[in-house]
Every structure is written in C-alpha cells, then in structure tokens.
C-alpha cells in the first residue's frame, strides 16, 4: 500500500504532519548545525508531551539542504513540558532504525510560551528515540514493527509500543466500522476497545470499555492520544495511539512484554458503531519489551 499523508508545506522541503489540537500555540526554532554529512538525506522531527506521550507536531524535511539551518516548529499547541525527537534516515530505507544505522537525537524542550530557540549540533551524543508510526490513516510497509493478518475476520492488525504508549493500525476488509479490544477477561468484558469508521472521508473513533461479555459502552474518559483514518480500495484504515496504563477504572493496564488477548471485529458495510459485527475473532499478541 502506497503511503499517503495529509500534508501542508511550511518551508522549503519541509512538511508538517498530524498536528494535535490542544491549547496555547507557541513557536520553536530548532537550530541545527554540523549536518554536512547528512545533506540530501531525509530528516523527521516530532514534538512530544513528556508526561502524556502525546505527539504535538511532526515535521518532515524530505532532503536536508545544508550543514546548518533552522527548522521552525509551529504551532505548538500545548501548555505542558515537551521534548523534541529527531532522526536522519542515514541508510535510506525509508523508516527509522536505531543508531548507528540512522542518526537520532533527543532534546528536552520544557514548557514553551510564545517563542523559543533550541540549538542542536549533529556531533551531540545520539540516542534511540524509538520512532513511532504516524497515526495518519495511511500505513506504509515497515511502518509498524509487528503485523498480524487474522484469518477469522480478515482484519489486519499492526502494532508496536514503547515504555508508555501503544501504537495501533487496523485495516478492515470492508467499508464499515472496524474495532480492536485489548485485555478482555470474558468475551468482551473488561476490554479496552477502540472502534472507528470513516464516512465521506471523516473519521469517527471512540474509546470504549467492555461492560459485559456481550456489551460495551463509551469510556468515561477517552484515552486516545492521536488518531487518523481513511477508506482505500474498499477497505477501512484506522490508526491511533493510547497509553499502556491510564489509572482509569475503565482501562485495563498493559505492560511492555505482556502477552495480551485481542478482540478483532468489523462490519462489512455499516458505519454505525452500534451495528452488530459481520465477523469477530480473538487472537493473542505480545507487546514489545521496554528496552528493545
């Protein structure tokens, strides 16, 4: 499947992707230097809330043009402390690989009000930033570390996680809704359920709770950190991220390395999230260990 993203050109060779809508817009200038070795290579930058793990902004430079340059990160709509993660696709394979295969850095940004400038030299110590998928409704080859094709439903499940956040992609074999549930104790009971549909290009995505073996309802507090969806070639694609553990009564806590029971379901044609599934299945997956 060819990767397609909603894009807005912000500066020459730079694309802003998936901006979250929060509050208090700010502007940060990331001043990069000593990048001569990476001229012509792809650079990706993301701003992340330190406490929430929520992605505030993602920016892509399709080709680094010079050894020293400024990258403007805006709008940063957050009132919480953030960090900047960035990597250069040194080996040219189109996705993130931990150093030394790719070059990657992390910069603590703190809380930004108004405008700020952060400087980074490519000679700084590198770190594994564990680059996550973009929840943009388009799933590229190798974007996720894991994929499962469920024979019972035909749903394709993609996933990966870090120490705090689970990133998920679903491809449903129809134009109706598609859903996944994590950690059920008895049928649907106790599961963290995410169900979504795309209608006329608009995504509806709900965070729900398995209230009984055969029932579910909306969570009292939605834990979804980011989301995206599309319909392509008669299939429904949704992507999202959510915390492994929220502390909420409606959410089952997941842990890195855990083997998890997963419910998969879809409807072939209906976008109504209350319409009974066309097919349903149960599988198991294993989450990534915290240290990869």
Q: Is residue 133 part of a domain?
A: no
Q: Is residue 36 part of a domain?
A: yes
Beta strands in 184-249 (DSSP E): 192-199, 202-212, 215-218, 226-232, 235-243
Q: Is residue 141 part of a domain?
A: no
Q: Is the pLDDT of residue 22 over 80?
A: no
Q: Is residue 137 part of a domain?
A: no
Q: Which range marks the domain in which residue 164 is found?
A: 146-286
Sheet strands side by side (includes 115-121): 69-77, 25-33, 115-121
Q: Is residue 164 part of a domain?
A: yes
Confidence (pLDDT) at 4:
36
Confidence (pLDDT) at 154:
96
**CATH number, domain at 78?**
2.60.40
Segment 24-35 mean pLDDT: 90
Confidence (pLDDT) at 20:
40
Q: Is residue 2 part of a domain?
A: no
Percent of the chain at pLDDT exceeding 90: 62
Q: How many domains does the chain have?
A: 2
Q: Is residue 128 part of a domain?
A: no
Which has more pLDDT, 225 or 291? 225
Of 121, 154, 185, at which residue does a domain stop?
121
Which has more pLDDT, 45 or 224? 45
Which has more pLDDT, 246 or 87? 87
**CATH number, domain at 248?**
2.60.40.1190
Using a 10 angstrom Cβ sphere, with 0-12 exposed, 13-18 middle and 19 or more buried, the burial of residue 194 is: buried
Mean pLDDT, the chain, whole residue set: 86
Look up the pTM and report it: 0.80
Percent helix, strand and coil across the chain, each rounded to 5?
Answer: 0, 50, 50
Q: Is residue 216 part of a domain?
A: yes
Confidence of residue 180 (pLDDT cuts 50, 70, 90): very high
Distance of alpha carbon 78 from alpha carbon 120, whole angstroms: 22
């Amino acid at each position: 499947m060819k990767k397609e993203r909603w894009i807005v050109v912000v500066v020459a060779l730079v694309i802003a992707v998936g901006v979250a809508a929060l509050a208090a817009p700010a502007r940060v200038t990331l001043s990069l230097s000593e990048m001569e070795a990476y001229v012509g290579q792809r650079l990706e930058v993301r701003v992340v809330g330190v406490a929430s793990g929520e992605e505030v902004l993602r920016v892509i430079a399709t080709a680094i043009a010079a050894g020293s340059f400024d990258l403007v990160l805006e709008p940063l709509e957050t009132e919480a402390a953030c960090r900047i993660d960035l990597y250069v696709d040194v080996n040219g394979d189109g996705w993130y690989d931990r150093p030394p295969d790719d070059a990657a850095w992390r910069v603590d940004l703190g809380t930004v009000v108004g405008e700020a400038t952060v400087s980074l030299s490519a000679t700084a110590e590198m770190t594994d930033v564990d680059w996550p998928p973009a929840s943009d409704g388009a799933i590229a080859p190798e974007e996720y570390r894991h994929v499962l094709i469920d024979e019972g439903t035909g749903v394709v499940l993609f996933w990966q996680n870090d120490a705090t956040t689970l990133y998920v992609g679903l491809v449903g074999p129809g134009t109706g809704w598609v859903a996944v549930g994590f950690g059920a104790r008895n049928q649907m009971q106790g599961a963290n359920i995410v169900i979504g549909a795309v209608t006329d290009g608009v995504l509806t995505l709900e965070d729900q709770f398995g209230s009984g073996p055969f029932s579910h309802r909306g969570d009292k507090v939605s834990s979804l950190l980011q989301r995206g969806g599309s319909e392509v070639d008669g299939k429904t694609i949704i992507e999202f991220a959510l915390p492994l553990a929220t502390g909420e009564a409606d959410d089952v806590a997941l842990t890195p390395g855990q083997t998890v029971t997963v419910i998969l379901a879809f409807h072939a044609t209906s976008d109504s999230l209350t319409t009974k599934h066309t097919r349903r299945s149960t599988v198991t997956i294993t989450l990534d260990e915290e240290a990869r």
